[in-house]
Amino acid sequence: MDRLIGYMLTWPTYGSWLQGDERGFVKDGVSYKADSRLLRANIKLRQKPAVKLLLKHTQIIRDEFYLTAEKIGQKIYSLAVCSNHIHIVAENADIEIADAVSRYKNNTSHVMRKSGFEGKVWAKGCDKRFCYDDDKLQALIEYVQRHFEG
C-alpha cells in the first residue's frame, strides 16, 4: 500500500455552504448536486447567519494556523484563508487528521473570540484529499496558491 505523504483539507465557515447549495456539496466524501428543498430545510435549521470573514479575521486565522501547526509538529505547504472557507495542504504528520482539524478549528475559534468575534466560526466536518505521491501533492499546493493565495 502507498504511503500517505500529505493531504488537502477544506472546510467552510459556519452556514456558508449548506447541504443542497447550488454549487453542489460534499457529504461523507461523496459529491452531490444542488437540491433546493434540502437547502431551504438547512437554512431553516441554521441558528445564526452565515459567517463571512473580514480581512482582519483572515490574518488572525492564518497566524494561528501556523502556530498550531508548529505545536502539533505539522508542516503546512500551502494555506488559503478565504472569506467563507479554508484550504490547507499539509504533510501527513504524527497526528490523526481529525485531531489536527479539531486543533486548527478550536484554536482559531479561541483567538477569534479573544479578538471580539461572537458566535460559531466553522461548520462541522471537512473535505479531505489525500496525496500518496509528490506529483499529486504538488498539484494541490499549486491549486491553492494559484486560486487563493495573494
Give per-residue pLDDT as tens, 75-125: 999 999 999 999 999 999 999 999 999 999 999 999 999 999 998 999 988
If one compares 66 and 33, the residue with the highest pLDDT of the two is: 66
* pLDDT-derived band at 135, boundaries 50, 70, 90: very high
Q: Is 116 left (phi over 0), alpha (psi -120 to 50) or beta?
A: left
Is there a domain that residue 101 lies in?
A: yes
Could you give phi then psi for residue 15, rounded to 5 degrees?
70, 5
Kindly tell me the sign of the dihedral angle through the C-alpha atoms of 104, 108, 110, 111.
positive
Count structural domains, the chain.
Answer: 2
CB–CB of 123/13 below 8 Å?
A: yes
* pLDDT of amino acid 19: 83
* 136: nearest Cα among 5, 26, 31, 10: 5
- Domain with 31 in it: 17-50
| Grid cell 478549528 in the structure block, residue | 105
Is there a domain that residue 95 lies in?
A: yes
* pLDDT of amino acid 148: 66
* 20: nearest Cα among 2, 47, 38, 44: 38
**Same-domain pairing of 60 and 129:** yes
Is there a domain that residue 1 lies in?
A: no
